[in-house]
Structure 1
């Protein structure tokens, strides 16, 4: 084409003008000449990029030209036409693309774009071509093959993902962790029972990162996963049962409440951590069965579990909860103080309002609140009373006028995705010369530390969303280079998990369930 003769020798303005004219007029006859120009990079990167975009534009819907370009002698042109074939979903290019793969090209970009182009096409035979690449060492290529397997929605795609996961050693490295994590994430596209069974078989995967992804996919599966999770509650080991209860709560389906309350009503002895997880799960599921299960839980004697019960009731509060709470408070004077203390620790505003309106136990509640030395709770409930247009509330506010707040000589950061646990920490540390900051997951805790927040002690859970405890500790030790003492709380019975945490840099461990006294003893020891 005359316009393109000696193109590389023209000045940049003229080159741009020519390319604009060709593209604007859709001059497809210019494509072969543009192929030859693009074959060797132009000195001006901007013009070279314009040639690329002009070709991509001109090749839309031009199957014959794309096929011609796939046979060009220049790798640059072939790569461009591979991308064009994918964007055009050009099934006629399938033999040529398959040939590129079979040739075992050592050019990573050519291989990646070939797989990407094939993944965009819908021909049935493409799945068989791409499935072997699920285990490819390049994460981008493996991810594209996994995407194709997931989009197939069929048994072959699911089985290929499961086989790959099963083939990888449990002692996987970073790259293998990434690949397995991608495969588990893609399994979330399948909603059949076999997929759910496979996910549940990895519910307690020893790798915290993989475990988190597995849990996310089970939550995503929703109601279909509940019968299988119920089976884990019945037959799993201690840790698996706790994790199943947590996932059921996060699914938030009313059938999950039936499963959890059946567990609590069963005559089998339940581990304290499992009871804690069960009540916390009910607090996430608004249903009558949840209310019944949680109101029954007001009889619990363990302080930590009772805080979980009260937190749950406050989350799913309705008039029936108010009646049940006040009945429980009047019924058992011995348990009443424990329930009111849990209400204070949990800053359960809705339950506080129910006690205020009933009036029978209000004075005792205020006495417990004033004696708690829990400045966060006192400030919270003072705010509630101040917002009430009630003369009685004004009088009660005066009772809560306390002396100077604790100075907080040392600073503690507590990270846990359980509200009940954070409330327990706040209540337990009240009255000590510390300032407590809380974070709902590892990422929040890391961001606080990264921003320069002064912290003298970190308390962290092991299993958390977004960033788990092991990841958090690694980031603190390796990225932030902080040498602060770290106390890790966990329900884990498997030593491999605590060993991972110890290697990451945890200073000491405390195993749930633990008492207020045990917790304070650990904190005091780490401050020495």
Structure 2
């Protein structure tokens, strides 16, 4: 006897119990009873939901019946069968689904069919997805693009490139379409020379979100993308393209990319400080002993930010040879030695600090630089390292560090994906009397806003992974209480259109890399009294 006999006369608890048992047992003998309950519901939300659950369970164990119902039913039962066939990857349903997609122009129905086919997978549905890449419904287009990437359809490359190019036009570049986002990811998944050359050519797409998606896609692609990025690290490339390509090579972290970056330094592909900084930062991120030679070359540069980037990179590569080299350089004295000691403190390079601490006068000068810092976080970091070193001298130096540094009561938030930039911001802001809060991307910065933290000024980079500066500022301005906080965007951009777009999102002003500490302080002072 069926468990569903006289079901409508049962109590509520009995109905739920029976349907649970039917869903677990997946007995095909209960299918007719479930279909009757599904087509003629009891109008009890909980019971009717359990009927659907039980029907899904029974059909999941009977592919033939699910496909049979799929082909002859209409309305909500057909939709349920479409979903069951997709969820349980019934391959025999593919011909039926393809026929249904061709016979029905309703976008909601077509989306259900495409979703089911995407879950089943396989090349049989390729032509259907390809034919819907220019559908009037954006959700269908996105679904089609995602599947073309999964199926690595090279024939779709021209159409995908059109999405990205279209989003670069004067009347479209301000907003990144979801279809453009997916087109970039799809091209990366297809991974042919044509596709990857095109993606790299759009490293500096006019829309910042597209740039971020390109960067993220190439980073995920990893070593396979290095030959294409290498073409951009050249004397003929635009400054902004080289910076972004160097950043991606650093994120990828592959030794092959290190060779490209070291070659760029050795052959002096660019004399621009921003480009050199990006390359040294990337070399430090890759962090192999082979990188040490190039990093030491960076100490010849007068740019303080490059020195901080070098110290950040070297701190992960410290060995007796590195320590000896630094002792030799700093031991020569002069402005270069002072710059290096300050950079060690700014970068919180505790491993380098430990290596130099016992080097007589050098250790004393370095300790004086730590004490001179106005950043309480710097004091805490080096206090912990001194405790680890131990000994009477270390104990005496710990006593020289104040427990807390008084600041002017003002707070600043700085967002940048570069650790050395964040370290420099901390140094500049504390010296200017601000309590700094730093974040490695826009999303992390916005998390402080969600906690209702108050800031007198916000400084943000334009190009960052996860969430770029434009998106961060746009969300900031849409949040109650943050409409009037001054925002300064740090950029290497050369296109006027990018600044105009940033102003529209709510950026008050800009400062261009490279800049000095005094220039940033002066810019902040224009907005904060």
Q: Same fold (TM over 0.5)?
A: yes
Cα separation, partners in 2 of 1:26 and 1:294, compared to 1, 3 Å: closer
- Alpha-carbon distance between aligned partners in 2 of 1:501 and 1:174, rounded to the nearest angstrom: 9
Superposition pairs for residues 275-290 of structure 1, below 5 Å? 275-290=276-291
Contact 1:39 1:75 in 2 (8 A): no
Structure 2 residue 225 is the aligned partner of structure 1 residue 225: yes
- How far off is 1:126 after superposition? 0.8
- Alpha-carbon distance between aligned partners in 2 of 1:127 and 1:256, rounded to the nearest angstrom: 36
Cα separation, partners in 2 of 1:40 and 1:418, compared to 1, 3 Å: same
- Alpha-carbon distance between aligned partners in 2 of 1:26 and 1:381, rounded to the nearest angstrom: 64
The equivalent residue for 1:115 is 114
Contact 1:245 1:281 in 2 (8 A): yes
The equivalent residue for 1:517 is 518
- Alpha-carbon distance between aligned partners in 1 of 2:506 and 2:24, rounded to the nearest angstrom: 62
Structure 2 residue 129 is the aligned partner of structure 1 residue 130: yes
- How far off is 1:155 after superposition? 2.3
Cα separation, partners in 2 of 1:44 and 1:228, compared to 1, 3 Å: same
* Deviation by residue 1:194-251 (Cα, 9 ceiling, x = unmatched): 3321210211122222211110111112122112212101132111010001111111
Structure 2 residue 197 is the aligned partner of structure 1 residue 197: yes
Cα separation, partners in 2 of 1:280 and 1:9, compared to 1, 3 Å: same
The equivalent residue for 2:358 is 357
The equivalent residue for 1:273 is 274
Contact 1:442 1:464 in 2 (8 A): yes
Q: Secondary structure at the match of 1:361?
A: helix
The equivalent residue for 2:486 is 485
Cα separation, partners in 2 of 1:9 and 1:460, compared to 1, 3 Å: same
Q: Secondary structure at the match of 1:489?
A: strand
Q: Secondary structure at the match of 1:89?
A: coil
- How far off is 1:293 after superposition? 0.4
Superposition pairs for residues 156-305 of structure 1, below 5 Å? 156=155, 161-166=160-165, 168=167, 170=169, 171-172=171-172, 177-234=177-234, 235-305=236-306
The equivalent residue for 2:506 is 505
State which drifts further: 282-291 or 242-251.
282-291
Cα separation, partners in 2 of 1:309 and 1:12, compared to 1, 3 Å: same
RMSD of aligned C-alpha atoms?
Answer: 2.8
The equivalent residue for 1:325 is 326
Structure 2 residue 141 is the aligned partner of structure 1 residue 142: yes
Structure 2 residue 405 is the aligned partner of structure 1 residue 405: yes
The equivalent residue for 2:472 is 472
* Deviation by residue 1:155-196 (Cα, 9 ceiling, x = unmatched): 236565445444556444899622221232344434443332
* Deviation by residue 1:382-402 (Cα, 9 ceiling, x = unmatched): 33223322233234445x356
- How far off is 1:279 after superposition? 0.8
Q: Secondary structure at the match of 2:488?
A: strand
State which drifts further: 348-357 or 192-201.
192-201
Q: Secondary structure at the match of 2:133?
A: helix
Cα separation, partners in 2 of 1:54 and 1:492, compared to 1, 3 Å: same
- How far off is 1:128 after superposition? 0.6
Cα separation, partners in 2 of 1:78 and 1:425, compared to 1, 3 Å: same
Structure 2 residue 308 is the aligned partner of structure 1 residue 307: yes
Structure 1, unaligned runs of 5 or more: none
- How far off is 1:278 after superposition? 0.7
State which drifts further: 2-11 or 400-409.
2-11
- Alpha-carbon distance between aligned partners in 2 of 1:374 and 1:39, rounded to the nearest angstrom: 70
Q: Secondary structure at the match of 2:527?
A: helix
- How far off is 1:154 after superposition? 4.3
Cα separation, partners in 2 of 1:98 and 1:40, compared to 1, 3 Å: farther
- Alpha-carbon distance between aligned partners in 2 of 1:3 and 1:268, rounded to the nearest angstrom: 78
Q: Secondary structure at the match of 2:217?
A: helix
Contact 2:226 2:249 in 1 (8 A): yes
- Paired positions, count: 526
Contact 2:376 2:403 in 1 (8 A): no
Cα separation, partners in 2 of 1:162 and 1:301, compared to 1, 3 Å: same
- Alpha-carbon distance between aligned partners in 1 of 2:464 and 2:331, rounded to the nearest angstrom: 38
- Alpha-carbon distance between aligned partners in 2 of 1:320 and 1:138, rounded to the nearest angstrom: 62
Q: Secondary structure at the match of 1:459?
A: strand
Cα separation, partners in 2 of 1:127 and 1:452, compared to 1, 3 Å: same
- How far off is 1:125 after superposition? 2.9
Q: Secondary structure at the match of 2:196?
A: helix
State which drifts further: 450-459 or 155-164.
155-164
Structure 2 residue 461 is the aligned partner of structure 1 residue 461: yes
- How far off is 1:517 after superposition? 1.3
- How far off is 1:122 after superposition? 4.5
- Alpha-carbon distance between aligned partners in 1 of 2:274 and 2:501, rounded to the nearest angstrom: 21
The equivalent residue for 1:90 is 90
- How far off is 1:88 after superposition? 4.2
State which drifts further: 147-156 or 275-284.
147-156
Contact 2:67 2:93 in 1 (8 A): yes
- How far off is 1:17 after superposition? 5.9
Cα separation, partners in 2 of 1:420 and 1:83, compared to 1, 3 Å: same
- How far off is 1:139 after superposition? 5.0
- How far off is 1:269 after superposition? 4.0
- How far off is 1:13 after superposition? 5.0
Superposition pairs for residues 35-114 of structure 1, below 5 Å? 35-106=35-106, 108=108, 110-114=109-113
State which drifts further: 245-254 or 331-340.
331-340
Cα separation, partners in 2 of 1:32 and 1:323, compared to 1, 3 Å: same
The equivalent residue for 1:432 is 432
* Deviation by residue 1:67-104 (Cα, 9 ceiling, x = unmatched): 33224454011111112222343344333322322233
Cα separation, partners in 2 of 1:88 and 1:479, compared to 1, 3 Å: same
State which drifts further: 484-493 or 174-183.
174-183
Q: TM-score, normalised by structure 2?
A: 0.90
Q: Secondary structure at the match of 2:435?
A: strand
